Amino acid sequence: MNFKKVIICIFRLFFMFLAQYRCFANDNMLLKKGLDLYDKGNYGQAIPVLNQYLTNHPQNYSATCLLGMALCKHGDVKESIKVFNFATNVDPYRSDAYGCLGEIYSTLKQYDAAVKCYDKILTLPNLKASDKKYYSDLKKVAVKAQKGK
């Protein structure tokens, strides 16, 4: 390989790296913007930003849960349930999405579904004692409401 080809190859690699870095930086800015909009209560504006971020990072559990919360707070409960269910598939060993689903189902008076979510959480490995108590208490409330139905 001659010197000129080596230089061209190095430039190509550099520009490929630069393009990937710009894409990564833009994606991080999207996630930050979505989080900022959510924190300010601008849920409707956060939703498309988070969707755009998740287009390139569909397996990002935290961003998926944030989208689910934004949808729920914006009033699109059915879509938020779909998003949280997707999040449980992205990482089935984390409690956040199951907990949000349980709370949504309780609010909708779908206590059977809420209890299933809380039961799932209580079987997760590495669940902290404080979380176990919290979700046990939520389950008790859902079971009591279910019986009073």
Share of the chain above pLDDT 90, in %: 76
What tens digit of pLDDT does each residue of 84-143 get?
999 999 999 999 999 999 999 999 999 999 999 999 999 999 999 999 999 999 999 999
Give residue 26's pLDDT: 72
CB atoms within 10 A of CB 100: 21
Rounded Cα distance between 24 and 46, Å, is 19
